Each structure stands twice: as C-alpha cells, then as structure tokens.
Amino acid sequence: MNGTVTVEGLSKSFPGTSTPVLDDVNLSVEAGSCTALLGPSGAGKSTLLRAVSGLEVPDAGRVLVGGQDMAGVKPERRGMAMVQQRPLLFPHLNVLDNIAFAGTVRGVPKRTARVDAAEFLDLVQLEGFGRRQVTALSGGQAQRVAIARALAARPSVLLLDEPFSALDPELRSAMHALLAELRRRLNPTILMVTHDRSEAAVVAENIALFSGGRILQHSSVELMYSRPASLEASRLMGGANEIPGTVCNGSHHSALGVLPLPCDTAWPTGPGILLARQESIEVSAADGAGLQATISGLQGMGPRRLVTLDAAGVVLRAEVPWGRGLAVGENVTMHIPTSALAVVDDSDTAHLYADADERPSLTSRGRAALTGVGH
Ligand SMILES: Nc1ncnc2c1ncn2[C@@H]1O[C@H](COP(=O)(O)OP(=O)(O)OP(=O)(O)O)[C@@H](O)[C@H]1O
C-alpha cells in the first residue's frame, strides 16, 4: 500500500472534556516522509496517532492511506504498526518470538517468521539476543525489540508515540541514528509524537505543530524555526525574542531601529512583531558599529550561555558559545543576521499577553518609546 497519509477534518471529543481534543485537524504527509507531531502536553498528538491507527474512532472526518478511506478498516488491516513510549513486549515470549509474532499473526509459518525475525533483530543491532527473555533487557534494548517487531509487520506507515522519551540522552542519540538507518533501508512513512523540539529536528524533515487540538503549522523543520506562522508557533518552537513595531517597504521599524527583513518574502505593511532567533544573534566587544546593547543577565545552558541584552529599551536574548568572558553591565555590539528575522501578525496575539503593556521584550524605556508615553 502507498504510505501517503491524509487526515481530513478529524474531530474527537471525550465525555467530560469541555473542548474537542481534536478540532477539525487536517494533515497530509508524503509516502516515505517522517513528520514529528510536536506540541505541549494534552494538545491531542497521541489522540491523532490513535485515530490514524484505528484505535480511536473519530467523531468526524476521515483518514486516508494511499488514497484509501480507512473508515471501518480494523487497526491490524491498515498497513500500520505502532510503537509506544513503553515497549509493551509479550513477557512470556523470548525476544525472537516477540518479533516473529508479527509474522505468525499474519499466518506466516512459525519457522519462516523466526528466520524473518532474526533479520530484523540484526537490523536493530541485537544479533545474538533472540533467546533472551524480554524481562532481561535494558530499556533501550527492549525498545529496539519493539521497533523490530513493528517493522517485521512490514508496515507502510510506522506510528511512534514518544518511543525514546524514557531513554537516557546517549541511548536516544543511538536510537535516532538507528531510525535514520531503518528509514534508508525500509522507507516507511513515519508519524512520530514528541515533546522535544531537538528530537523532532534530528529525526523528522517536517513538523506538525499542535496546540489545543489543532495544527498551528505544518512545515519543514527549517521553516518552523525560521518562519513561524504566528506568535504562538514561535513560542512553541522556543523563540525568545519578540519586538513590536511596524513593517514598511520590507523592513521592520522598532525601538531597535530599521532592520531589513529577508527579501524572499513579501512582508505585509503594517504593525508586526519582529522575531529574532536567539541562536543566531552574535554578541561581540562594543565597537561602535551595529546594534549597541548592555548585558543585563547571564545564564549557563550547558555548552552555551543565554545572554540577556538591553538594546535601546528592548530586551533581547542571545544564545552564545562559551568563549570570551562576558559580564553583566558590559556594553557589547549585537549582530542579528537578516536570515534570523521574521515578522508575525500583531492582531491575533492579544490572548498571548496577559496585559497589552506587558510585552516581554520591552523594558519600561522601550514601552515608553513604543507608546509615546513617558514613564
Ligand atoms: N480516553 C480518553 N478519555 C478522556 N479523555 C482523554 C482520553 N484520551 C485522551 N484524553 C484527553 O485528551 C487530551 C489530549 O490527550 P493526548 O494524549 O492526545 O494529548 P498529547 O498531546 O498526546 O499529550 P501528551 O504529550 O501529554 O501525551 C488530554 O486532555 C487527555 O486527558
């Protein structure tokens, strides 16, 4: 079966939930692609995955695989396999028979299913583990067995529900590499639920960003970071800099000054919030050229530091590598590459600010500049 997955107008409510868990969700993913379903807890990601798999019946809408409507098609007949956060292996079967189960359940003779299972065991780099009891596996090994069992069912669509979230960082990296290898060899369509933006960026080429039962944005990982469609999408992707102002002739005008915007987009004229990815902002010794700022805060973040800067009353954050010593109170020069900039509409953001005056990126000096009111 062709593994294109299309979700049309999917809605789902549960008894006792005041708002729909899925609210008219539309999504289309190409065969062989990997899409991360990303978003906060309770946004409806797992419910969508379960509805696609057939484990949950939607109230409205439909799921198509390879153009075929899956309504009424049992989960085991959809050409899909699912791996959950916990491996859910059969405790009474050894590793090999757990994997062979995918074949025997389809009527493949046990002997043939075991030969096949051994190949999948090799594929997930667990050769020699076939006779082991599943209760004697580490978390990472058990999850690899669960993936092998899912793949042994020859699914055209692989559904992964936070499959690596219980693993330590090294093991997670190893599993990401394994998934990339499995994709090269078997090329299933993958939908993977994750909370983790970094994991989504490593594993998937596309992200469907969820909030409140809806998809806010579905685009490539790169566009999700560089061109969020809304302030909410920017925040969910970890964007830390929001500067109110106005767009005019392809530039953004604010307390920071006039900053040219990427010229590959026709930015609409009018009020707009400038977004500047914190990872792209460079901070160097004050040299009089470029944007001048004063460091107002420093915070360690493992291999990088989060620098809080005050530039003409605008609070900005930059993530910079360790290197030259930086100190609170120091005057520095900031460089914001044009490619790190984007603008989102100002009009749909009221609900995101508790108070219209509480723009997080403005100091009282910046607010005064914006509103023309002295403080
Ligand atoms: N069977 C159910 N009965 C009632 N409510 C449910 C049921 N399944 C899910 N929900 C509710 O639906 C909402 C969405 O749940 P879902 O598991 O899809 O979210 P999620 O985005 O995957 O969250 P998480 O990342 O925490 O797993 C939650 O509020 C959850 O409590």
Tokens linked to 303: 């291999």
pLDDT in tens, 233-253: 999 999 999 999 999 999 999
The residue contributing the CA closest to ligand 1 atom 9 is 47
Cα(47) to centroid(ligand 1), Å: 6
pLDDT in tens, 142-187: 989 999 999 888 899 999 999 888 788 888 888 899 889 889 988 9
> Does ligand 1 come within 6 angstroms of the Cβ of 320?
no
- Asked if the model's pLDDT at residue 320 lies above 70, the reply is yes
pLDDT in tens, 278-303: 999 999 988 878 899 999 999 998 88
Q: Provide the residue ranges of all domains of the chain, joining segments of one domain with +.
A: 5-223, 239-371
Distance CA(190)–CA(164), nearest Å, equals 14
Residue 375: pLDDT band with limits 50, 70, 90: very low
The residue contributing the CA closest to ligand 1 atom 8 is 47
Ligand 1 pocket test target in 21, 193, 194 with most atoms within 8 Å of CB = 21
Mean pLDDT of 269-278: 96
> Does ligand 1 come within 6 angstroms of the Cβ of 195?
yes
Beta carbons of 156 and 2 less than 8 angstroms apart: yes
Tokens linked to 314: 């605008």
Question: Out of 3.40.50.150, 3.10.450.50, 2.50.20.20, 2.40.50.140, which CATH number does the structure's domain 239-371 have?
Answer: 2.40.50.140
Please write down the HEC assignment for all residues of the chain. Answer: CCCCEEEEEEEECCCCCCCCCEEEEEEEECCCCEEEEECCCCCCHHHHHHHHHCCCCCCEEEEEECCEECCCCCHHHCCEEEECCCCCCCCCCEHHHHHHHHHHCCCCCHHHHHHHHHHHHHHCCCCCCCCCEHHHCCHHHHHHHHHHHHHHCCCCEEEEECCCCCCCHHHHHHHHHHHHHHHHHHCCEEEEEECCHHHHHHHCCEEEEEECCEEEEEEEHHHHHHCCCCHHHHHHCCCCCEEEEEEECCEEEECCEEEECCCCCCCCCEEEEEEECHHHCEEEECCCCCEEEEEEEEEEECCEEEEEEEECCEEEEEEEECCCCCCCCCEEEEECCHHHEEEEECCCCHHHCCCCCCCCCECHHHHHHHHCCCC
CA of 50, closest atom in ligand 1: 18
Cα(46) to centroid(ligand 1), Å: 7
Residue 371: pLDDT band with limits 50, 70, 90: very low
pLDDT in tens, 62-96: 999 999 999 999 998 899 999 998 888 999 999 99
The residue contributing the CA closest to ligand 1 atom 6 is 14
Residue 218: its pLDDT value, please? 97
The residue contributing the CA closest to ligand 1 atom 24 is 41
Amino acid, res. 370:
L
Cα(13) to centroid(ligand 1), Å: 10
Q: Does domain 5-223 have CATH number 3.40.50.300?
A: yes
> Does ligand 1 come within 6 angstroms of the Cβ of 44?
yes
Residue 169: its pLDDT value, please? 85
- Asked if the model's pLDDT at residue 359 lies above 60, the reply is no
> Does ligand 1 come within 6 angstroms of the Cβ of 21?
yes
Question: CB atoms < 10 A from the CB of 66, how many?
Answer: 16
Question: Minimal CA–CA distance to 360: which of 368, 352, 372?
Answer: 352
Cα(22) to centroid(ligand 1), Å: 10
pLDDT in tens, 30-61: 999 999 999 999 999 999 999 999 999 999 99
Question: Minimal CA–CA distance to 188: which of 242, 217, 147?
Answer: 147
